[in-house]
Amino acid sequence: MAPTLLWIGLGNMGRGMSKNIVEKGNLDGPLLLYNRSSQRATDFSAKFPVGKTEVVESLADGVSRADIIFSCIANDEAVQETFRAMLEENVNGKLFIESSTIHPDTTEAIAKDVVAKGAEFVAAPVFGAPQMAEAGQLVGVLAGPAASVARAKQWFKGVTSSKEIDFSDKPYSKALTLKVLGNTFILNMAEQLAEAHVVAEKTGLGTEAIHQIVDSIFGGPYTAYSQRMLTGDYYNRDEPLFAVELARKDARHAMSLAESVGVRLRNVEAADAHLAMAYEHVGSSADMAGIYGAIRKESGLKYAVFIGLVVIAALCVASWFLAPKGENQVSVQPSRRCDLSQAACDKTADLFSFRLWRSSAILAIVSCYLMWAITFLAQLHPLIAPRKSGIREEHLH
């Protein structure tokens, strides 16, 4: 009989991974689901046929019923809190597969507590974007006792992942060290892309040329992040694809690891500083690709507001002088035949002309003001690209 599985954590990665376990994991019963926000678990469960998933009422209920317990949670504090609660139950003989991105030292401490309770533990962080999780194309990194890793493998390659990196009988921390360092590639990539796009924009080269060379030479995540920056996807999303809070957590872990061995990650420091700017501007909904907006702001693109204001003011003045007035007014007669005296008719025509001139002037000024307002609001928001890219969807990998 297949074991009963409990999945804890339904963020962007957790939803994709658990979906593939439901669809390809050969489970005899429903996949048990637990999330700190029960509504998210309920909504997610509703996407599957009846009997494929079950939302548990409490963590204790799920742990007591499960043989295998997966977790993919946001940060170290949440993981520690969750495991403290789970280890209050009888977990003897159960297997914990932990896929969160946390500090290697945190993983070692949790694993020690789990093993002391008679359970098994596998550190199993994964590489890949949420789209890869959805498609079952992640790269799993598994560390721990060989027997425990062997038990866990059946839910990785061919189910949630396309590849595995096997650290059997290696310290749990090895998997997380690789994960944390691997994530610096993403941070550095986003920083470099954002810098290049901003320089290209300010020099007049244009961002589309940069995107084309990125797509042609690097492809993959480079193309995807470049596209997200240029099209504004990161500020139009209801939920960040890679939350700035999580990206900064990964950056802190990487810098801490490096510092412990006498190395300084200057590229990561720069990326972290820009992520902090994005978070300050947007808050918890900030997406890592918002690093582009932060670099734009830092590079002075927002000062285009002042230039735009001068240009618009000039246009407003020009519209005033060019509007028909005095001898240059167009004589506009009333639409119906004038049956009044000539003086009265002339007065009526002058009134129509004045109203036309006044309306034209007001319309010109209002139009200019609206143009300025749109420019001002767009430039004031440093996370909004000043212009959309015309790059077609087929450039995405």
Q: Which residues are marked as active site?
A: 179
Checking DSSP bridges between strand 95-98 and strand 53-55, what pairing results, if any?
unpaired
| Phi, psi (degrees; rounded to nearest 5) at 383 | -100, 10
Q: Which residues contact 332 (CB under 8 A, 6 or more apart)?
A: 349, 352, 353, 356
Contacts of 240 by beta carbon, 8 Å cutoff, 6+ apart: 234, 285, 286, 287, 288
On whether the CB atoms of residues 65 and 40 are closer than 8 A, the answer is no
Distances (CA, A) of 79 to 36, 98, 158, 167, 216: 12, 9, 26, 22, 40
The CB-based long-range contact list for 162-165 (8 Å cut-off, 24+ gap) reads: 162/136, 162/137, 162/138, 163/139, 164/139, 164/140, 165/139, 165/140, 165/141
Where do the H-state alpha helices sit in the chain?
Answer: 12-24, 38-45, 59-65, 76-86, 104-116, 130-135, 146-153, 172-203, 207-217, 220-231, 233-236, 244-260, 266-282, 291-298, 304-322, 342-380
| Cβ atoms of residues 45 and 54 within 8 Å | yes
Task: List the beta bridge partners of residue 189.
Answer: none
DSSP state letter for 200: H
Question: For residues 249 and 78, what is the distance between their CA atoms, to the nearest angstrom?
Answer: 13
d(CA 2, CA 67): 9
> Around 14, how many Cα atoms within 13 Å sit in the side-chain half-sphere?
27
Residue count of the chain, please give it.
Answer: 397
